[in-house]
Structure 1
């Protein structure tokens, strides 16, 4: 009986009535005896700790998934209809994928081509990019450049700038951005002038505020349907997540 009590205690007493583990109702001698039996059981059966930790981690993951779903639903309009984020893929797609990204993030760069392949290969995904610079001054400069291009030259120019920034191998500074603009057949100076405009800052601030509200602290972070996916996921994993969303 004591072994069963000890095991139940490790799992949150789920298998027993609350009164069966009411330590407050025990005498000091009973508490001491109970503690000794629990210790003896764990020393003889240490694998129970691994089992209990695994159960706890699974429950925590399930709680996090449900909490993320609730956050996504609560802030869905800001995620998919903010009026300033670039939208690609199929505008009428049955699944919306949102990516919070930083141009200096190694995992964002790693995911870049796989996300491209996901959207192009599926054909029915609405894809939204959120500029989310969190890795310092160069990240901020890159995002400001991309947003300025978007505001001055539209969606196609933004996507070209985004792709070029993702593949950029040099430090991000004014001279590098000037060369990048020229390579895209764009006049650099108006873009550089626009980068510090309040309209550009407002986009970054709004994305940071939304990310903070959603508990996003790293990149890439994806929202796929009503699932939030924190961190890099390979193409096969993203395809499986999209399939799960479609299956309901």
Structure 2
């Protein structure tokens, strides 16, 4: 960032120097010590008289960086589309034949994931034509990992319906995640808590978590929630209205 700003300021300084009539000094390799000193004076004078140049340079740099990041994210999604949208193991809800797909990387202990939960549900259920994919990415400690293992084990034992029940319950759960609390949760949905618990540490569950974590690393995902909507990575929590507007834009 410093080099980019310096480059912008340098251009402004060169303009000031040119306006001052020192055309010879435009070639820095030809400057004498005295001319270099004078150049420094001209730079300082220009910036003191035109301080807005600094903010213009910063704003332009930030815009350039945002544009570059957006393009990089588009490339990442395109290069990893199969793993993102059709991995063969992640839960697929909403309308499996929907015309637009939203993928969420989430953690059950993430406050912003919990905040987004009801809004994502509202979007998916209210629209009726969204394919919704959930990717378990426990990154907030041991309880996050235990919760994700339990949810994935539920999917393997009880199918998508059982998974959705546990997923929704965990997204609304604010207590400590323990074997006891998870067992009670499973029983509240008439699920086989013992079978799910036994499955939690299986190779299948471990493999799913490892694949999702590896994909997150490839996509440079460092926080939850992170969404993928069609071709775009959306990093962080987004309110309902903003997600809906992006979705409508994708549909054209």
Question: Do the structures match in fold with TM over 0.5?
Answer: yes
CA offset digits 1:104-136 (Å, max 9, x no partner): 000000000000011112222111000000000
Residues 117 and 161 (structure 1), Cα distance of their counterparts in 2 relative to 1, 3 Å cut? same
2:157 equivalent to 1:152:
yes
Runs of 4 or more, structure 1, over 2 Å off, are 11-16, 20-35
Residues 220 and 24 (structure 1), Cα distance of their counterparts in 2 relative to 1, 3 Å cut? farther
Instruction: Report the alpha carbon displacement of residue 21 of structure 1 after superposing the two structures with TM.
Output: 6.1
CA offset digits 1:154-184 (Å, max 9, x no partner): 1111001000000112100100000000011
CA offset digits 1:67-92 (Å, max 9, x no partner): 00000000000001111100011111
Instruction: Report the alpha carbon displacement of residue 31 of structure 1 after superposing the two structures with TM.
Output: 3.0
Q: What 5-or-longer segments of structure 2 have no aligned partner?
A: 16-24
Count the aligned residue pairs.
238
Aligned to 1:29, what secondary structure does the other structure show? helix
> Aligned partners of 1:170, 1:164: CA distance in 2, in Å?
12
User: TM-score normalised to the size of structure 1?
Assistant: 0.90
Instruction: Report the alpha carbon displacement of residue 34 of structure 1 after superposing the two structures with TM.
Output: 2.2
Q: Is the 8 A contact 2:105 2:137 kept in 1?
A: yes
> Aligned partners of 1:157, 1:23: CA distance in 2, in Å?
71
2:87 equivalent to 1:89:
no
Instruction: Report the alpha carbon displacement of residue 23 of structure 1 after superposing the two structures with TM.
Output: 3.2
Instruction: Report the alpha carbon displacement of residue 41 of structure 1 after superposing the two structures with TM.
Output: 1.5
Aligned residue in 2 for 1:204: 209
Residues 208 and 24 (structure 1), Cα distance of their counterparts in 2 relative to 1, 3 Å cut? farther
- The alignment yields a C-alpha RMSD, in angstroms, of 2.1
> Aligned partners of 1:21, 1:196: CA distance in 2, in Å?
68
Aligned residue in 2 for 1:126: 131
Aligned residue in 1 for 2:67: 62
Aligned to 2:191, what secondary structure does the other structure show? coil
Residues 209 and 9 (structure 1), Cα distance of their counterparts in 2 relative to 1, 3 Å cut? closer
Instruction: Report the alpha carbon displacement of residue 187 of structure 1 after superposing the two structures with TM.
Output: 1.6
* Larger radius of gyration between Structure 1 and Structure 2: 2
> Aligned partners of 1:10, 1:49: CA distance in 2, in Å?
8
Instruction: Report the alpha carbon displacement of residue 12 of structure 1 after superposing the two structures with TM.
Output: 7.6
Farther off after superposition, 67-76 or 182-191? 182-191
Instruction: Report the alpha carbon displacement of residue 24 of structure 1 after superposing the two structures with TM.
Output: 3.4
Aligned residue in 1 for 2:177: 172
> Aligned partners of 1:90, 1:27: CA distance in 2, in Å?
72
Q: Is the 8 A contact 1:181 1:188 kept in 2?
A: yes
> Aligned partners of 2:160, 2:59: CA distance in 1, in Å?
46
Q: Is the 8 A contact 2:94 2:125 kept in 1?
A: yes
Instruction: Report the alpha carbon displacement of residue 8 of structure 1 after superposing the two structures with TM.
Output: 9.9
Instruction: Report the alpha carbon displacement of residue 188 of structure 1 after superposing the two structures with TM.
Output: 0.7
> Aligned partners of 2:130, 2:115: CA distance in 1, in Å?
20
Question: Which of 69, 73, 80 is residue 75 of structure 1 equivalent to?
Answer: 80
2:8 equivalent to 1:10:
yes
Residues 46 and 68 (structure 1), Cα distance of their counterparts in 2 relative to 1, 3 Å cut? same
